[in-house]
A and B are shown apart, each in its own frame.
Chain A
Amino acid sequence: MIEIQDLHKHFGGFHAVDGVSLTIEQGSITGLIGPNGAGKTTLFNAIAGLHKPTQGQVLLAGEDITGLAPHQLFDKGVMRTFQIAHEFASMSCRENLMMVPSNQFGETLWNTWFGRKRIADQERALAAKADEVLEFLTISHLSDEKAGQVSGGQKKLLELGRTMMVDAKIVFLDEVGAGVNRTLLNTIADAIKRLNRERGYTFVVIEHDMDFIDKLCDPVICMAEGKVLAQGSLREIKNNEQVIEAYLGTGLKNKEKNVVQ
């Protein structure tokens, strides 16, 4: 689905992403783990178009999409969410979702004045769709609230909802679970699973919560210092010496051993 070849992103002398090559299979939910500063978010940014990669290639189903602008990638079905949920604070949750589909009919000045009826039809359809998405995410009671005023976890759901307004091919989720309580986290996990199964979305998930990763992801990729350290099932990753050293720490290893014993 997505093939990354020798991707580099340098900020001055700092190599945030330092030669990453990996393949993400269609229909998979891939987990991306690693210590803070490992370059996970930078990798997302480089793929999603917010940063131009210094070197390397990103292929989407064989097509070179390296360095395209974010809105162009959006049109190709590549979407991402943010570690700290972003929202259009002054708009309602419904309006936030309605912003999403690109190239809407009302987006040109000419149509703003001379295509009023068609715009109205489209807006109505979008509003219905947005309500449907809010329903799916169990936050339909918030549809008219200002997005700036809902809780952090609900903003995370809204981020996920954004990807559902169009037919995304691949969604990059940056710490969807951070700062979200258990119940809401389960809601998010269920939503991801359903989207994966029912709509065939491919997900790449950055997450620190191992339970969450365990529940959803296969395979798991571990990054450290801008490089891919290991790739495989969570079990394999957990037993990888390098990973343990760089990220999981020895405590977990001991715990695993205890469990095994």
Chain B
Amino acid sequence: MEFLHAVIVLSNFVIIPAITYGSQLALGALGVTLVYGILRFSNFAHGDTMAFGTMVAILFTWWFQSIGVSIAPLPTALLALPIAIVLTALLLLGTDRVVLRFYRKQKSAPVILLIVSLGIMFVYNGLVRFIIGVGDQRFSDGSRFIISARDFKKLTGLDEGLAIKTTQVITVITAVMVVALLFWFLNRTRTGKSMRAFSDNEDLALLSGINPERVVLYTWLIVAALATIAGTLYGLDKSFKPFVYFQLLLPIFAAAIVGGLGNPLGAIAGGFLIAFSEVFITYAWKKVLTYTLPEQFAPSGLMQLLATEYKFAVSFAILLVVLLFKPTGLFKGKSL
């Protein structure tokens, strides 16, 4: 019974939140890795692209709510998602047209594109704050729990509750669908294959008659979808605050690099690795240990390795270790 309680507490506070967070990071890292693999630069504007997409989703959610459109028990934001993806895609394509294409024509070095993306990041950053403000926005509606802690206790008669939030389930299901779709697209369709070919060997792809502008276009469309979905899911699960999205850049990049930049499978693995490490290290283990250890060893402290305020230090540390000992990442990077 004690052990069962420990498992439930662990699931409730560590495993389920980590899986959810991992899915969000994985989607974010996939976007970063695609840009790196195909367009060959580290896109620092990705966090703020997510913020922009989420902002559009929020604005349309509010509008839908005001005219009484809803898909309860699901959150209205899911309805706004396609619109948000389209608008984000337009923003990215516009940016590419106005800014990035110039540098691509010049065949600029990746590091220059990286700095350019930093500039784009600041612009998006300002744009989002200008439109929606810097404050916290909550926009999740519909039913909050699939099963609440109280219901779980009543149902099972146990002392510990297991709460599963609707947003968590939606996040995981959406992430699985998106990833499956992406891999099918990259591996099975002609368009996806030409993107992989372009990533594999740009010169050869060009000389095989692959139109680079078309590949770039599709890459941005996919990145817009990934970023908007990742951002909206994160916002639904927690809340939307532009600064938080800017900060998300670190765990997302850590995830992409840990997995091997340019490798989609690695991005997913990296996302979960970062998420689990972050949650594991910042979780207060007191309760779980009290249940599992014999009584005389029961801890008196919180048994928390790191305060949650420092959670970004975890991704930073992992990033450092990976770059020191396995710079290409766990999976081999730079090939789609």
Among listed A106-114, A236-244, A253-261, interface-contacting one = A106-114
Determine whether the beta carbon of A106 is less than 8 Å from that of B189. Answer: yes
Partner of B209 from the list A88, A90, A101, A119 (CB cut-off 8 Å) is A101
Partner of B194 from the list A70, A74, A107 (CB cut-off 8 Å) is A107
> How far is A75 from B211 in the complex, measured between Cα atoms in Å?
10
Instruction: Decide if B163 is an interface residue (CB 8 Å cutoff).
Output: no
Q: How far is the CB of B81 from chain A (nearest CB, A)?
A: 18
Partner of A80 from the list B207, B214, B336 (CB cut-off 8 Å) is B207
CB contacts under 8 Å to A, within B168-193, are 185, 189-191, 193
> How far is A123 from B191 in the complex, measured between Cα atoms in Å?
12
Instruction: Decide if B204 is an interface residue (CB 8 Å cutoff).
Output: yes
Q: Which residues of A contact B190 (CB under 8 A)?
A: 104-107, 112, 119, 123
Determine whether the beta carbon of B207 is less than 8 Å from that of A109. Answer: no
Instruction: Decide if B196 is an interface residue (CB 8 Å cutoff).
Output: yes
Determine whether the beta carbon of A71 is less than 8 Å from that of B191. Answer: no
Scoring B200, B206, B208, B335 by chain A CB atoms within 10 A of each residue's CB, the highest score goes to: B208
* Total chain B interface residues with beta-carbon distance under 8 A: 25
Main secondary structure of the interface of B (DSSP, over half): helix
> How far is A130 from B283 in the complex, measured between Cα atoms in Å?
56
Q: Which residues of A contact B194 (CB under 8 A)?
A: 99, 107
CB contacts under 8 Å to B, within A71-105, are 71, 74-75, 79-80, 82, 86-91, 95, 99-105
Instruction: Decide if B201 is an interface residue (CB 8 Å cutoff).
Output: yes
> How far is A82 from B201 in the complex, measured between Cα atoms in Å?
12
Determine whether the beta carbon of A100 is less than 8 Å from that of B201. Answer: no
Determine whether the beta carbon of A102 is less than 8 Å from that of B191. Answer: no
Q: Which residues of A contact B212 (CB under 8 A)?
A: 69, 71
CB contacts under 8 Å to A, within B193-244, are 193-194, 196-197, 200-201, 203-212, 214, 218, 221
Q: How far is the CB of A10 from chain B (nearest CB, A)?
A: 16
Partner of A102 from the list B189, B196, B201, B210 (CB cut-off 8 Å) is B210
Instruction: Decide if A162 is an interface residue (CB 8 Å cutoff).
Output: yes
> How far is A91 from B196 in the complex, measured between Cα atoms in Å?
9
Q: Which residues of A contact B205 (CB under 8 A)?
A: 88, 99
Q: How far is the CB of B117 from chain A (nearest CB, A)?
A: 24
Determine whether the beta carbon of A106 is less than 8 Å from that of B191. Answer: yes
In the complex with contacts A79-B207, A88-B200, A91-B197, A107-B335 CB distance below 8 A: no
Determine whether the beta carbon of B206 is less than 8 Å from that of A69. Answer: yes
Partner of B207 from the list A48, A106, A108, A112 (CB cut-off 8 Å) is A48
Partner of A91 from the list B191, B193, B211 (CB cut-off 8 Å) is B193
Q: Which residues of A contact B206 (CB under 8 A)?
A: 49-50, 69-71, 74
In the complex with contacts A91-B196, A108-B191, A75-B201 CB distance below 8 A: no
Q: How far is the CB of B52 from chain A (nearest CB, A)?
A: 22
Scoring A80, A86, A95, A162 by chain B CB atoms within 10 A of each residue's CB, the highest score goes to: A86
> How far is A191 from B41 in the complex, measured between Cα atoms in Å?
40
Determine whether the beta carbon of B189 is less than 8 Å from that of A112. Answer: yes
> How far is A86 from B203 in the complex, measured between Cα atoms in Å?
9
Q: Which residues of B contact A79 (CB under 8 A)?
A: 207
Instruction: Write the chain A residue with the least CB distance to B217.
Output: A109
Determine whether the beta carbon of B203 is less than 8 Å from that of A82. Answer: yes
- Interface flags for A29-54 (1: CB within 8 Å of B; 0: not) read 00000000000000000001110000
- List, sorted by A's number, 19 A–B pairs whose CB atoms are closer than 8 Å: A49-B206, A50-B203, A70-B207, A71-B210, A74-B209, A82-B203, A88-B201, A88-B205, A90-B196, A90-B335, A91-B197, A95-B193, A99-B205, A103-B209, A104-B190, A106-B190, A107-B190, A109-B218, A119-B189
Please name 5 further chain A to chain B contacts, defined as beta carbons within 8 Å, in addition to the given A89-B201, A99-B197, sorted by A numbering.
A71-B209, A89-B200, A91-B193, A102-B209, A119-B189
